[in-house]
Amino acid sequence: MISSQQGRSRIRVRLKEKEKRETATLETDHHYLLQKAEKELEKLIGVENVKTMVREIYAWIHINRCREKHQLKTVEQSMHMIFKGSPGTGKTTAARLLGRLFKDLGFLQKGHFIEAERADLVGEYIGQTAQKTRELVQKASGGILFIDEAYALARGGEKDFGKEAVDTLVKAMEDHKQSFILILAGYSREMDAFLDLNPGLPSRFPLQLEFPDFSVQQLMRIAERLLVEREYIWTERAKTKFEQALQQRKSSVREPFSNGRYIRNTIEQAIRQHAVRTMREHNEHDVDALKTLSDRDF
């Protein structure tokens, strides 16, 4: 016959075993989220610093939850970011991806992505700028507010309303620390100058990431990925011609190079040329012809 004390002891043992199982399941679920995040990050070519940052943030969120479970203090951190780099280096793509990842990790409620520029924040009359900026922050609540070419807010002199937009954003960052993530993006040199003009800004953006220009090899990988996504292939001669033109264009100093954007535009132009050529050659019913880009298309 089991005494009441023995019964209570067995119940405690079962409860502890159940708690261990739940903890193990919780940890497995969390690590599944990391694996899912890393799988998403594999879609990004280059940007190793973004991948490192995501792993660090995942670890911080996970350990914070473990500390909370053991009645230890949890540490809040600001996730506002600066993205520096040329056009087409993956800044916008990375920001969109971060929104989804942070939602999965429970850091953001919605994870949606709001992209804005100077005209979306700055008004023409007194009081209009603060209102527009507050409305934009409210719209981004639970997600990411991405402001491209953020240094444009500092242009226009002392009487310009851009400074009011910056001040309103800073206040929103303080008042709503954990409800949204603000990412300011733009060319490296211009972003550095913008931050120098506002001494209080750099410390409010603890995560500052550089997006370097892609190498020719990385750009070729982007091109081949675009072709796979669109169900096209190219001949060796087409690939060689494209790579030679890419090397020449990348080394040119006549105008800024737009990296991944240049690749996408060039591939899409080749697809249009391919369509015209395929129609002209009456190959609409030839599957190989429908999917193969030749050197004549570039």
Task: Give the 3-state secondary structure of the chain.
Answer: CCCHHHHHHHHHHHHHHHHHHHHHHHHHHHHHHHHHHHHHHCCCCCCHHHHHHHHHHHHHHHHHHHHHHCCCCCCCCCCCEEEEECCCCCHHHHHHHHHHHHHHCCCCCCCCEEEECHHHHCCCCCCHHHHHHHHHHHHCCCCEEEEECHHHHHCCCCCCCHHHHHHHHHHHHHHCCCCCEEEEEECHHHHHHHHHHCCCCHHHCCEEEEECCCCHHHHHHHHHHHHHHCCCEECHHHHHHHHHHHHHHHHCCCCCCCCHHHHHHHHHHHHHHHHHHHHHCCCCCCHHHHHEECHHHC
HSE, CB side, 13 Å, CA atoms: give it for residue 290: 6
Tell me what pLDDT residue 125 has. Answer: 85
Tell me what pLDDT residue 246 has. Answer: 96
pLDDT at position 48 over 60: yes
The set of residues, in sequence order, having a beta carbon less than 8 Å from that of 58 and lying 6+ positions away, is 33, 34, 37, 105
Reading phi first (left if > 0) and then psi (alpha if -120 to 50, else beta), residue 259 is in left
pLDDT band at 26 (very low <50, low <70, confident <90, very high): very low
pLDDT, one tens digit per residue, over 158-178 is 667 888 999 999 999 988 878
In angstroms, the CA 210 to CA 49 distance is 8
In angstroms, the CA 183 to CA 141 distance is 13
In angstroms, the CA 243 to CA 36 distance is 33
pLDDT above 70 coverage of the chain, percent: 88
In angstroms, the CA 261 to CA 88 distance is 5
pLDDT at position 244 over 60: yes
pLDDT at position 295 over 60: yes
> Which amino acid makes up residue 189?
R
Domains in the chain: ranges and CATH: 7-211 (3.40.50.300), 216-297 (1.10.8.60)
pLDDT band at 212 (very low <50, low <70, confident <90, very high): very high
pLDDT at position 195 over 80: yes
Q: Would you tell me how many other CB atoms lie within 10 Å of the CB of residue 183?
A: 26
pLDDT at position 283 over 50: yes
pTM score over 0.85: no
> Which amino acid makes up residue 282?
H
Query: Average pLDDT for residues 255-274, to the nearest whole number?
Result: 94
Query: Average pLDDT for residues 227-242, to the nearest whole number?
Result: 98
pLDDT at position 186 over 60: yes
Tell me what pLDDT residue 157 has. Answer: 62
Query: Average pLDDT for residues 21-38, to the nearest whole number?
Result: 63
In angstroms, the CA 93 to CA 158 distance is 34
pLDDT band at 183 (very low <50, low <70, confident <90, very high): very high
In angstroms, the CA 189 to CA 173 distance is 24
In angstroms, the CA 191 to CA 86 distance is 11
Q: Average per-residue pLDDT in the chain?
A: 88
Q: Which residues share a beta bridge with 111?
A: none
Q: Would you tell me how many other CB atoms lie within 10 Å of the CB of residue 73?
A: 7
pLDDT band at 3 (very low <50, low <70, confident <90, very high): low
pLDDT band at 4 (very low <50, low <70, confident <90, very high): low
The set of residues, in sequence order, having a beta carbon less than 8 Å from that of 221 and lying 6+ positions away, is 45
Tell me what pLDDT residue 13 has. Answer: 52
> Which amino acid makes up residue 181?
I
Query: Average pLDDT for residues 263-270, to the nearest whole number?
Result: 97
Q: Which residues share a beta bridge with 182?
A: 145
Query: Average pLDDT for residues 11-33, to the nearest whole number?
Result: 55
Most confidently predicted of 9-13, 37-41, 245-249: 245-249
